[in-house]
Amino acid sequence: MSGLWGLITGAVFMLVFKMGFWGFLLGLFVGPMLGRFFYGFMAQKNANPTLFLSVTFEVLGHLSKAKGVVTQDDIKIANQMMDQLQLQGAARKLAQDSFNRGKDTGYPLRDRLKELYAAYRHQSNVLRVFCEQLIQAALNDGKLDDREKDILYIVAEEFHIPYAQMSMYIQMMMGSYQFHQRGGYSYQQQYQQQYQQSSGQRQSYQQPRGPSLADAYRVLGIDESADITTIKRAYRKLMNEHHPDKLVSKGLPKEMLEAAKQRAQEIQAAYDLIKSHKGFK
């Protein structure tokens, strides 16, 4: 679709505005950006304001039921997520009803995912936030069982996300889980301070207890052998994808913004930890 926008824009620049061949080339570059802006505007204008929130908690309920019996821990996790998103009043009631609906035996998982995909098919960052929230919820007990993985890959199928890409999302969120569990936010400042006190002698530096560098690299979705350029590129891409203002412009409901903000804070903390270890600015 972006290629079509480029061709159309190029033809307009070349023929209507008489810009010739260079106008056509400019259109090939500008067209996809115009297309993304248009689809983002239309998504924000036409999106059902409750659809994203409803399907999120429906699938969360479906994930909970997938393990057999929905336990009090599952309900507690759902309520914690509602607290995290600061849901109150009608929004919280909608989330609770959606969670219960997702537990039904005949819940139409694929149909609801198709409906959500149709609304946000041109907003990949918004769909990524949806996936990350599901993975995070599934990981609250520290592991993913086979049935939970099956559901996550059904989500990938309906969102047209390649298997390898969903696997990467899962690995990144597992890294985020470990990073958070080991105190990644508060630990970063402690790590940086002690690193600076080592006067640059990294060989003798003893890493204190806390999130490992391996966790931080997994949060960014890169290998521990990555060079500084790769690290910076991964960080900037992730921060761009989770920027709250950009997500709102693409149609993310305001109720989901808190989750995007917390994810961005986690990405920042992981990046700062890696910077401290590598010694670059």
Q: Which domains does the chain have, with CATH numbers?
A: 2-46 (no CATH), 51-160 (no CATH), 181-278 (1.10.287.110)
Give the pLDDT score at 12: 62
Give the pLDDT score at 84: 81
| Token pair in block for residue 186 | 């508060």
pTM listed for this prediction = 0.71
Give the pLDDT score at 111: 96
Angstrom distance (rounded) from CA 242 to CA 224: 22
Reference 270, options 244, 225, 234; nearest CA is 234
φ/ψ region of 47 (left if φ > 0, alpha if ψ in -120 to 50, else beta) reads beta
Q: Residue written as tokens 């521990």?
A: 224
Q: How many CB atoms lie within 10 A of CB 3?
A: 11
Q: How many CB atoms lie within 10 A of CB 15?
A: 12
Q: How many CB atoms lie within 10 A of CB 77?
A: 20
Q: For residue 94, which phi and psi values (nearest 5 degrees)?
A: -60, -45
Give the pLDDT score at 247: 80
Helix (H) or strand (E) holding 8: helix 2-11
Q: Which residues of the chain have pLDDT under 70?
A: 1-18, 21-49, 183-211, 251
Give the pLDDT score at 168: 94
Angstrom distance (rounded) from CA 115 to CA 131: 15
Task: Give yes or no for a contact between 26 and 55, defined as CB atoms under 8 angstroms apart.
Answer: no
Calculate the CA dihedral of residues 75, 78, 84, 85 and round it to 10 degrees. Answer: -140
